[in-house]
Structure 1
Amino acid sequence: MLAARGAALGWAARIALLVFLAAWLRVLACAPRQLRWHDDVVLLALAGSAFALIALGPTGTAPILLVLLACVLAERFDTRGLTLALLTVNLLLLVLLRWRWQVSWTYALTSVVAYGAFQVFAALVLRYANHAEAMAEQLREVNARLLATRSLLDESARDAERLRLSRELHDVAGHKLTALKLNLRALARDPALAGRRELAVAAGLADELLADLRGVVRQLRQHDGLELGEALRRLAAPLPRPQVAIEVAADARAADAEQAETLLRIAQEGLTNAARHGGARRAWLRLAREGDALTLHLDDDGRVRWPLVPGHGLTGMRERVERLGGTLELTPSRHGGLRLAARLPAGAGA
């Protein structure tokens, strides 16, 4: 009879341990702070299986399980909630030690204090680790923004130099070449010079030079605007996740620095949300010109709870876009996460 009861308790303990292990593996498989709707189920499974093991009889496994449970509680609750949760856990432990295991009050209180100290230590270590990780992530985001801004400033300087050079060629050199052609035509009407071959060659060279100059100015004008490919790549490179595939069309150029800054901030906020709130592993960013508008599409494979409630970041993005006469749409992505689509008039800031 005792052997059968011991075997039953052994199987019950194994089942409880397997339940705890399965729930713990589920916690490890999830991105930090991404349990969401099923986090309560996982938490109940961890707590229930841990206390089931404790209720079945004295075991050295219980303190370890309670420390692991404290780590999950530290992820789940704020400081006040964590304090209440740990007090509840150790109160239940005290009840089981005193009335289930029939140990003395001294042993029970000593055990609870010792186990509780380990739980608090584990929770604090996890909190500090999470805080350090959050600070490192913020530093990476700031570094990415600085690199993108520097790239944008470099591109702005190049664009300003192209514009200045095209104007100088058109207004100064073009004007003087036109004056030269007019003078050559006046000389050609002089009977004493009308038959000179050198005059005809000089007039032909002036025509060719003016045509070449207009071609150079036209080529410079074709590259008006700010190229954002390098700035977007620098924005995404320092981020550990998600991995971003970037596609920028050759004619997708921002009209000015304000429009370029808006597109960069939209991309940055979208990537930050994909990593921080969606737990995305991959993202796809595409900047293109469609008719008279610039379009930026950002898709990710993260998790999104619908209906989506925009936070301050998304609200700020929408305000930036609307101020420049554009639109911002948030829809489900075919990759499973969020699809962000921004559309700006090509000359929004001009």
Structure 2
Amino acid sequence: MTSTSATAKHGSSSMIPSEKRPHVMASNTMNNWRDKLSLDKISGIMTWAVVAGMSLFVLHKNNADMASIVLASALYLVYIVGWLFMIRDRDYQSDGAIRSAILIMLFAVVIGIFFTVPLSFNSILMGIISGALPYYVNVKKALMIGTIASFPLYFVFTYYWQDDFVFLTASLFWTFNMFAIIMVNATVKEKAAREKVEETNRQLVSTQALLKEASKQSERIRIARNIHDLLGHHLTALTINLQVASIKAEGDVKKNVEQCHQLAKLLLSDVRDAVSDIRDKSQVDLHEAINSMAKQVPFVDIELIVSDNLHIDDIEIADALLKCVQESITNTIKHAKGKTLLIDISQNETALSFEVRNSGTIPKTLKIGNGLKGMQERINLLGGRITFSLQPTEFITSVVLPINSEQQP
């Protein structure tokens, strides 16, 4: 087996045999912690901690009763736990309904805080919620929800706390909510556009690599055919003529003609061997094609394991496998948020096996989207079989393609 690591960060990883593949995912724990402690989560938690800490400090300094302090502490705790559940990367079984319920609960919690703590800067908590909206709803709905979320501050502080100047504060926090939503929406759009460009670039690189391999294969076959059709035929004619000449010749001339005949036969045999060798080596270098595509992938370590006897001379098979790799890379980046991708390609006398293991945030249930359907269609057209399976920390794509024994080198 030949193992190669390719990564956009030009990093290196250990050479590992296929029987030890599970340990490739040993870094998942660290990757999960990185996901959990991403910058947006850290900033949200820090903002919440400052708001909650200052509010509880003011309540204590103003000699508020213990019941109010305990209630406020409980509301702040429920808020941060609910917010973390709302923004988690992994989808829920009924994702839209559950996130909507959490969102409503968070609004209710903030309103409860307004009634418990007479400090208007707690509206920052509404701003934290509003800032997450563009990830889950379109910008129009986000702006509408952000506007509605600004009203409770005005009504609670005007009619419950008797604050005559809260209108200005509420207006300022409303503009802050709108600004947060618009800026986050721009970030979401920019990220989506960048991912689309990167995906398109990977498609172009894989297509370029495949065309390069197809061109090399076509050139080798052309050279082999020309050698066979031109030089081979001339040598065959020369051999026949020398054989006839050796029959008619006599004495020393006959001996020399027979030597020339043997040399011509040997040369013809060498030419046939050379043509066969060129044809046998006119295979697609899938290893190099995948490596070219892997160099365009940011923040993902790609481990490539290729068997030494791999021989692919069918451009359609190579194209299907490259498209499967490309889709797996896209799924790892966009959906699994993974950091590691293991690609294992092997071959025996009857079939070619291809397995991709991507780590990351793996859903509990498998949903066959357009990307996975496209992979199924490509493999089925080639008479192969493809299966998808979910593991606690991995999504595994397995492909088996039948091959003709005559194509073996």
| In structure 1, C-alpha distance between the alignment counterparts of 2:195 and 2:317, rounded to whole Å | 27
The residue aligned with 2:118 is: 58
Query: Which amino acid counterpart does residue 314 of structure 1 have in structure 2?
Result: L
Question: TM-score, normalised on structure 2?
Answer: 0.73
Q: Alpha carbons of 1:18 and 1:2: their partners in 2 closer, same or farther (altered >3 Å)?
A: closer
Please say if residues 131 and 180 of structure 2, whose CA atoms lie closer than 8 Å, have aligned partners that are also in contact: yes
Structure 1 residues 324, 62: closer, same or farther in 2, change over 3 A? same
| Alpha-carbon RMSD | 3.1
Structure 1 counterpart of 2:145, from 69, 85, 89: 85
Counterpart in 1 of 2:236?
178
Match of 2:6 in 1: none
Verify the 8 A CA contact 2:91 2:363 in the aligned structure 1: no
> What amino acid maps onto 2:214 in structure 1?
S
Task: Find 1:339's aligned residue among 382, 396, 406.
Answer: 396
Q: Distance in 2 between matches of 1:235 and 1:2?
A: 61
In structure 2, the residue matched to 1:319 is 377
Give the equivalent residue in structure 2 for 1:131: 189
Deviations 1:150-174 (A, max 9, x none): 1111110110111111122222222
Corresponding position of 1:290: 348
Say whether residues 1:5 and 2:76 are aligned partners.
no
What are the equivalent positions in structure 2 for 1:265-280 lying under 5 Å apart? Answer: 265-280=323-338
On the 8 A contact 1:144/1:238 being kept in 2, the answer is: yes
Q: Does 1:168 align with 2:226?
A: yes
Report Cα offsets for 1:2-38 as digits up to 9, x if no partner: 975356545655565555556667778x55xx45467
2:126 is the alignment partner of 1:71: no
* Equivalent position of 2:48 in the other structure: none
Q: Describe the shift of the 1:27–1:246 C-alpha distance in structure 2 as closer, same or farther (beyond 3 A).
A: farther
Q: Is the 8 A contact 1:144 1:237 kept in 2?
A: no
Pick from 238, 254, 260 the counterpart of residue 318 of structure 2.
260
Match of 1:211 in 2: 269
Question: Residue 179 of structure 2: SS of its match in structure 1?
Answer: helix
Taking only the aligned residue pairs, the percentage that are identical comes to: 24
In structure 2, what is the Cα distance between the partners aligned to 1:27 and 1:291?
Answer: 51
TM-score by length of 1: 0.84
Matched letter for residue 221 of structure 1: R
Alpha-carbon distance between aligned partners in 2 of 1:21 and 1:307, rounded to the nearest angstrom: 27
Distance 1:41 1:337, change over 3 A: farther
The CA deviation at 1:278 is 1.9
Query: Structure 1 stretch 319-328 or stretch 302-311: which is displaced more?
Result: 302-311
How many residue pairs were aligned?
342
Ranges in structure 1 where 5+ consecutive residues have no aligned partner: none
The structure-2 alpha-carbon separation of the partners of 1:281 and 1:52, relative to structure 1 and needing over 3 Å to count, comes to farther
Contact 2:307 2:346 in 1 (8 A): yes
Q: Which moved more, 1:43-52 or 1:150-159?
A: 43-52
Q: CA offsets, 1:100-121, max 9 Å, x none?
A: 32212xx333322221110111
**CA apart distance, 1:180:** 1.8
Q: Which has the higher contact order (CA 8 A, sep 6+)?
A: 2
Structure 2 unaligned regions, length at least 5 = 1-59
2:303 to 233, 245, 249: 245
